[in-house]
Chain A
Amino acid sequence: MAIPGSAEKAGLEPAPPSRRRWPLGLVLACAVVLLVVAAGAAAPWLTANSPLDQDLLAINQGPSADFPLGTDHLGRDVFARLLYGARSTLEISVAGTAIAFAIGAGLGLLALAFGRWPAAFLFALIDLVRALPGTLLALLLIVGLGSGPGPLILALGISFAPLVAYVTRATYLREAARDYVQAAASFSGGRLHILRRHILPNIAGALVTQAAIVLPRCIVTESVLSFLGVGSSPDEPTWGRMIADSSRFVERAPHAILVPLVALVLLTLSLSVIGNHLRRHLDPVRGETRAPAGDDEAEAATQPPLATAMRVSA
């Protein structure tokens, strides 16, 4: 996707040192995300304890050999819940983000590509929903759709879809106004050809960046919903649910709340760091303002005005 060997080849700038170094923050962020993914995937092999088994004789205990991170108010193993929680947290938020993009970007792009009216209708509908903040909309949707992971994912997806749709529309319209889109139309390129060949590659960066912004916000919203008692179900606890469950026992078992809290913040933090880097490197606006200088002058200095013309007619 990246444009290879940009400036050096054109001889516009002195060649920079060969290898680009990754900033430390980005490396750490990627490491945290990979660790969480690995923890979620390998949860059954990393702990023998179940995240749901209650041991009412060992409630609110600190870390021990049996329970590496202690137990919560129902005597459940915090470590096991942390590992399994990583899995469900990621599953729910990734699925929610995917639905937000399927609706916002997928439907939005199709509507935009197929003319004025479909797009006008879709965005009028989104405009009506927009007045409700995402959290409230998700809350209401869960009220209507019922509880459980399915409705939760759907509610998260729908509540973030307007945001994605607006970003999609803005970037789409910016690209659609470009002359190269007009040029493709003048070569009798159809709507889908233009969408696939010219618009998608140029807005992909913006969409990927947007996904990296929506994902942590999905995690946060899910945790808020869990805290309000309408989020993930008790038998598939997310980190948000763990924090919510333990929040009333913060005095007796601070570790039970601090562990998922720190994990959640570390994950969202890492994702947003990655999102910021993506934005910086995939920003489609970046390249075009940097008009190359020098080539015309070099060309001009060596050729009299009619040289090329003569070469053509010869």
Chain B
Amino acid sequence: MPLSARSLVLAGLFFGLSAGHLRAQLSALETEHLRLVYFSKGHEYLVPHVARCFEIALDFHSRLFEYTPSEPVTVLIQDFGDFGNGGATGVPRNLISVGISPFHYSYETMPAVERMSWMMNHELAHIVTMDKPSSSARFFRSLFGGKIAPIPEAPLSLLYGYLTSPRLYAPSWFFEGQAVFMETWMNGGLGRALGAYDEMMFRTMVRDSALFYDIVGLEAEGTKADFQVGANSYLYGTRFMSYLALQYGPEKVVAWNNHDRESMNHFAARFQQVFGAPLDEEWARWIVWEQEWQRENLTLIRTHPITPYRRITQTLLGSVSRPFVDRKRNVLYAAVNYPGQVAHLAAIDLATGAKRRLHDVRGGTLFYVTSLAHDPSTETLFFSTDNNKWRDLNAYDLKTGRTTMLLKDCRTGDFVVNPSDQSLWGVRHYNGISSLVRIPAPYTEWNLVYAWPYGKDIFDLDISPDGTMLTAALAELDGTQKLIAMNTADLLAGKTSYDILYDFDISTPANFVFSPDGKHLFGSSYYSGVSNIVRYDFETKEMHWLTNCETGLFRPTPVSPDSILAFLYTGQGFVPVMIGNTSVESVSAIRYLGNEIAKRHPVVRSWHVRRPSAANVNLDSLITYRGEYKTHISLVSAYPVVEGYKNFAGYGMRLSFADPLYSHMIDLTASYTPNAVLPSNERVHAVLNYRLWEWKMTATMNGADFYDLFGPTKTSRKGYSLSLQYKDYAIFDEPETMDYRFTVGGYWGLERLPEFQNIVASFDRFWSFDARINYQNLSKSLGAVEYEKGLEWRAATHANIVLREVYPRVSTNLGYGFLLPMNHSSLWLRTAGGISFGQRDNPFANFYFGGFGNNWVDVGEIWRYREDHSFPGLAINQIGGINYLKGMLEWNLPPIRFRHLGFQTLYSNWMRLSLFTAAIGTNVDKISRSTAISAGAQLDFRLVLFSSFESTFSLGYARAAEKNQRWSDEFMVSLKILQ
């Protein structure tokens, strides 16, 4: 559950909800500290349980941290994705989003514990971190009317944000480490601080003498370039917290996260205060300790012979799906996902190890990539797309290479083909329930076989070669998991009893598949703390261990009676290997760090929260309201600002009001320029933005802007304006979206055109109408710095109405990009065109082009050179015309990542060079045609401020010339604050 919920992101999430037509349906249940919001009656069944889990978790956090929420915590439960997730922010408002679907248990990266309780335990830990104030923060919150979220429109908010919520200025690993640590002990030991995957990752790093990231390197490179990307924040953060707890006691870990009267604000300063040592020094000590811990574990494993294996390919595959062996072609099929290339279906030659890309997997996810199934009789691969959202079922024809989408948004995965009738069986997630479904050929609809009660979840299905038996892993509410078998004919007749083949207790029975003769099942288990391959014998009903592995072996597939293909975990991802089908006699268990904590510091055992039963939480007595969600707005914050107006500075205030879900917002910025040079009627400035779901109203009076203080690009304008915009989505199926918006505006008292700062308005009053459509279907690989391939298209029509004359114009642009064989390198072709139906000599009827467009300190798009009105190398608005055609070829080189360039509060993640060349023609059909060409480059550095706020520093150079004119150069320097 990445803490992607920085205030802006979460606000964006909720604002995005507004675009999904949810406004009329939101319901709420409120207690003193909770506002539980949901939008579907289909989710209502969970409401009391979630509320109880919240109250239990809050009660615990309140006692442990001496914490009282500064405002009710809004919890939105939703079903936007097929797998569970959660996010939280405490700035500016306490908000938690909970995806109610079951989790994915691949490689035991998640424990199979009751998830609502777990998520409340985890997410409230984030709220405590961000919401509980220090003494100084409490003062500043009362001064500014609340907690201030840093926003790019008002960069001074970065400073105020620190004053009101200093703990926000910490890296992801700190937040996630704290929350995972707390979740584990609040769950009674079922959490990732006692997880086998974590042990495996660090054990493998020690075995391979791999680099341990330092604090800066982890966020700079570790969470971006590694195949586990953001998960590294969790893994490192949790490990470090666990180490601290073992060495110094869990109470100190709590104290680090807590505030008291003397506590330092910054998380690193607080660390030193609590632990008596600088953070980076202790981090280094942890690495040394970890290496020793893992060497001991490796020694335990090596007590018995290590199972030999043979690598099939040297290519690193990153995350992998369930594999299938095509005996006819002697090929292994799997979906893979590694940094540099988008997730895709791959075929690996078992003889040569050569990998061939078959087809992209849209929405390939971390760890398991996609749900994959293979039907050898029809030579078809079935796979799911949009795996982070609502999954679709697709088929890839191995003979023709064609892909067909069979079922859109079927929300089903864990596919397996029944060899007896070619039907697909799978597990569907809907409204938080796991259901076994069957999809008969020709796969146009799914049929429910059995819906499991809430809390039970099945996964990793397989069907016997004769089609009579279905096996699965079954996870229970208490975290225990079993390998079960069911008769397919009985299931179709409505009989849903099952046999327990093996009880794995709290270890996951992972990826069990049938042998070709149907007499055995092969799977993997972390029973000893290390994932090894196991074989279940139907006749003897015994489980045999087949490997003793140092890192971890997963996803076995029997290839022949004496050989098994499996995937070996390495630090760069999973690699396919061949092992023998022979039992091992002995396997030693490793030690879990988390278990040592429980033994040495039994206080964590007392952190197991109470059960959320009706007996423990009398919810009815706590409820203060239940009914329709109220969109009443209240003051979020009020703080002083500095703005630029033309070449002057103005001083004023910014006030923000919003409802808890940010569906209804008012932002007002008002300032005054105390400079006598400026006419008196231009000294007062105001900008009002009012948003309600899809609607936005903007009113300006001599609109000013902070960024006008820096650089040549000016957005401030004399005069008044009033505009109304409606924006909505025609397609919202990420990564494919199409939004449309209509804007009507009126302008009075103008000097310059609103869009073109250097163009004098021929008349100071006019109306405008704008309608546009934006379509994009863009994707990127793991660790990418921006989108790397896809299609984007925009079309716009704009009309200015001046003195009852209408000046309409239309424009469109189209961009197409694709990945080059070099990782993270892409080539883009961008074209644009437009036509205006007005007089050439009227400024309202013209398009204008010129310049990069970036300001020295900026808030707009980083790569402004791609925009319609940009043309690097020429001056801003240098060329114009009533029609134009423009083309650009752009090559984005792979980013160079910096492992450690800077220090904790300021460092650079990466540097990336883009090269472009462009040509433009205006008035192309007229004698007054003008053309120009340009070539240039932009070098961008991603900076991280205060451990968590990303900014971009850009350098640009371009050389351009109009036809028959001299060449001109342009240098660009720009710092975009907050991304």
Binding between chains A and B? no
Seen from chain A, the residues whose Cβ lies within 8 Å of a Cβ on chain B are none
